[in-house]
C-alpha cells in the first residue's frame, strides 16, 4: 500500500510539474491519467520495492550530496587527463566485492561507480563487480569501500550495512 | 527587514543572468573537453571515461545554468526532471556499452599509456 501511495504521489507531482495548468478540466484529466497509470502498473504487478522506490527517498537524498562531491573530484582528475599535453593514463581492470544485498542497492552502487568519471562498471556477477578505471592507483578495490557502504546504507537501510 | 529582502531579491535578479550564462558556457567548455578526451584516448573503455565528463559535469552545469536563466518554477521543474532522468540513464547507457564491448571480447589496454605509443595503438 505504501508503494502504491508513493507511486501515486510521485506521478501526481510529476504531472503538476509538467503541466502547470490549474483549470478544473485539465486538473481532472490529470487525475484520471494518474489513476489510469496506477491501475495499469497494479495490473502489471510492478508496484514493489523496485517499481516504487520512494520509501527510500530520504536515504537516497542523504547519499546524493556525497556522490555529487565525489563526481566533482573525479571530474577534475579526468579533465586534467584529457587536456594534458602528453597522454599519461594507466587503465586497469579491477574486481570489486560489494556488500549490497538487494538488486536495487547493487544497481545504485554500480551506477554510482559509472557516474563517477574515471571508473566504469563493466560487468556484475553476483556480488562481484568488474570495474574499469582510468588510473590504476585510483581504482584499487579499497577506493570503493566507502561508496559501497554508503549506497548499501542508503538503499538497504541501516541494518544492512552492519 | 523587508527592505533587506527586497534588496537581496533585486541583487539576485541582476546577478542570475550573467551567472546562468557563465555556467552554460562552462558546461559547454567541459563538453568540448570531454570530446577532446574521446578523440585522444586509446580504446573504447578509456573513451567512455572521457564521455562521462560530458554526461555528468557538462550536462549538469548547462542544466543548472538554464535553471538560473529560466523565467519561472515550471521550467525549473522540467529542467530538474531532465537532470534526474539524465543522471539515472547515462550511467546505464555507459554500462551497456562497456558490457557489450566486454561480451564481444574486446581486450582493454592495461598499464601505463604514454603519448608516444598511444598514437598508433588500436584496440
Instruction: Return the pLDDT at B118.
Output: 46
Q: What is the pLDDT of residues B103-120, one digit of tens each?
A: 888 888 777 776 555 444
B95 chain-A contacts, CB cut-off 8 A: 110-111, 114, 120-122
Mean pLDDT of chain A: 82
Min distance A87 CA to chain B CA atoms (Å): 4
Give me the sheet containing A119-125, strands edge to edge: A92-97, A128-133, A119-125
pLDDT of the residue at B115: 56
Query: What's residue A101's pLDDT?
Result: 80
Q: What is the pLDDT of residues A119-144, one digit of tens each?
A: 888 888 888 888 888 887 777 777 78
**Structure confidence at residue A161 (pLDDT):** 43
Over range B48-66, report the average pLDDT: 88
Residue A95's pLDDT band, with cuts at 50, 70 and 90, is confident
Confidence of residue A28 (pLDDT cuts 50, 70, 90): very high
Distance (Å, rounded) from C-alpha B88 to C-alpha B35? 21
B56–A119 CB contact, under 8 Å: no
Instruction: Determine the Cα–Cα distance for residues A152 and A116; give it in Å rounded to an integer.
Output: 17
User: What pTM was estimated for this model as a whole?
Assistant: 0.80
**Which residues of chain A lie closer than 8 angstroms to B55, CB-CB?**
115
Q: How confident is the model at residue A159 (pLDDT cuts 50, 70, 90)?
A: low
Cell of B54: 560530458
CB–CB contact B40 A87 (8 Å): yes
Contact criterion met (CB < 8 Å) for A89 and B41: yes
Nearest by CB to A117, which of B42, B49, B92? B49
Condensed to tens digits (0 to 9), the pLDDT of residues A43-90 reads 888 877 777 777 777 888 888 888 888 888 888 888 888 888 787 788
Alpha helices (runs of H) in A84-119, residue ranges in sequence order: 103-115
Cross-chain residue pair B30–A111, CB shorter than 8 Å:
no
Percent of chain B scored above 70 by pLDDT? 92
Backbone angles phi, psi at A53, to 5 degrees: -85, 25
Chain A contacts of B93, Cβ < 8 Å?
A: none
- Whole-angstrom Cα distance, residue A12 to residue A6? 10
pLDDT of residue B116: 52
Range ranked top by mean pLDDT from A71-75, A107-111, B29-33:
B29-33
Q: B86 — contact with chain A (CB < 8 Å)?
A: no
Supply the pLDDT for residue B120: 47
Q: Which of B33, B40, B102 sits opposite A123 (nearest CB)?
A: B102
Predicted local distance difference test score (pLDDT) of residue B24: 93
pLDDT at A109 over 70: yes
Query: What pLDDT, on a 0 to 100 scale, did the predictor assign at position A105?
Result: 82
Segments making up each domain of chain A, as ranges: 2-44, 59-161
Contact between residue A131 and residue A120 where contact means Cβ atoms under 8 Å apart: yes
* Nearest CA among A40, A148, A42 for reference residue A94: A148
- Annotated domain spans of chain B: 15-105
Q: Which carries the bigger pLDDT value, residue A20 or residue B24?
A: B24
CB contact under 8 A, A93 and B110: yes
ipTM of the complex: 0.79
Are A91 and B113 an interchain contact pair (Cβ–Cβ within 8 Å)? Answer: yes
Residues of A in contact with B108 (CB under 8 A): 91, 93, 132
Q: Which of A153, A159, A41, A58 is nearest to A105 (CA)?
A: A153
Indicate the residue of B34, B56, B113 with minimum beta-carbon distance to A82: B34
- Please write the tens of the pLDDT for every residue from A113-124: 888 888 888 888
Q: Quick check: B123 pLDDT over 70?
A: no
Nearest-CA residue of chain A relative to B48? Answer: A120
C-beta atoms of B41 and A83 within 8 A: no
Mutate to test the interface with B, among A86, A87, A128 (most CBs of B within 10 A): A87
When pLDDT is cut at 50, 70 and 90, the band that residue B5 belongs to is: confident
Q: Where are the beta strands (DSSP E) in chain A?
A: 92-97, 119-125, 128-133
- Res. B21: pLDDT tops 90: yes
Amino acid at each position: 500500500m505504501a508503494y502504491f501511495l508513493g507511486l501515486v504521489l510521485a506521478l501526481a507531482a510529476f504531472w503538476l510539474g509538467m503541466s502547470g495548468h490549474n483549470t478544473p478540466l485539465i486538473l481532472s484529466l490529470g487525475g484520471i491519467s494518474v489513476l489510469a497509470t496506477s491501475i495499469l502498473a497494479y495490473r502489471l504487478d510492478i508496484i514493489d520495492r523496485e517499481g516504487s522506490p520512494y520509501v527510500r527517498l530520504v536515504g537516497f537524498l542523504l547519499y546524493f550530496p556525497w556522490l555529487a562531491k565525489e563526481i566533482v573530484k573525479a571530474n577534475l582528475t579526468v579533465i586534467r587527463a584529457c587536456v594534458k599535453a602528453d597522454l599519461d593514463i594507466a587503465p586497469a581492470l579491477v574486481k570489486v566485492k560489494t556488500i549490497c544485498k538487494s538488486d536495487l542497492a547493487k544497481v545504485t552502487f554500480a551506477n554510482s561507480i559509472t557516474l563517477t568519471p574515471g571508473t566504469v562498471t563493466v560487468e556484475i556477477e553476483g556480488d562481484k563487480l568488474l570495474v574499469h578505471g582510468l588510473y590504476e592507483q585510483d581504482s584499487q578495490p579499497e577506493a570503493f569501500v566507502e561508496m559501497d557502504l554508503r549506497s548499501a546504507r542508503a538503499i538497504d537501510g541501516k541494518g544492512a550495512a552492519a | 527587514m523587508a527592505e533587506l529582502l527586497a534588496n537581496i531579491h533585486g541583487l539576485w535578479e541582476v546577478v542570475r543572468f550573467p551567472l546562468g550564462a557563465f555556467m552554460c558556457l562552462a558546461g559547454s567548455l567541459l563538453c568540448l573537453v570531454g570530446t577532446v578526451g574521446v578523440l585522444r584516448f586509446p580504446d573504447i573503455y578509456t573513451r567512455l571515461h572521457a564521455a562521462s565528463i560530458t554526461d555528468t559535469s557538462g550536462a549538469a552545469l548547462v542544466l543548472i545554468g538554464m535553471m538560473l536563466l529560466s523565467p519561472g518554477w515550471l521550467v525549473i521543474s522540467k529542467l530538474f526532471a531532465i537532470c534526474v532522468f539524465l543522471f539515472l540513464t547515462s550511467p546505464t547507457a555507459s554500462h551497456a556499452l562497456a558490457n557489450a564491448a566486454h561480451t564481444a571480447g574486446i581486450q582493454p589496454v592495461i598499464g601505463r599509456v604514454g603519448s608516444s605509443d598511444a598514437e598508433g595503438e588500436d584496440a
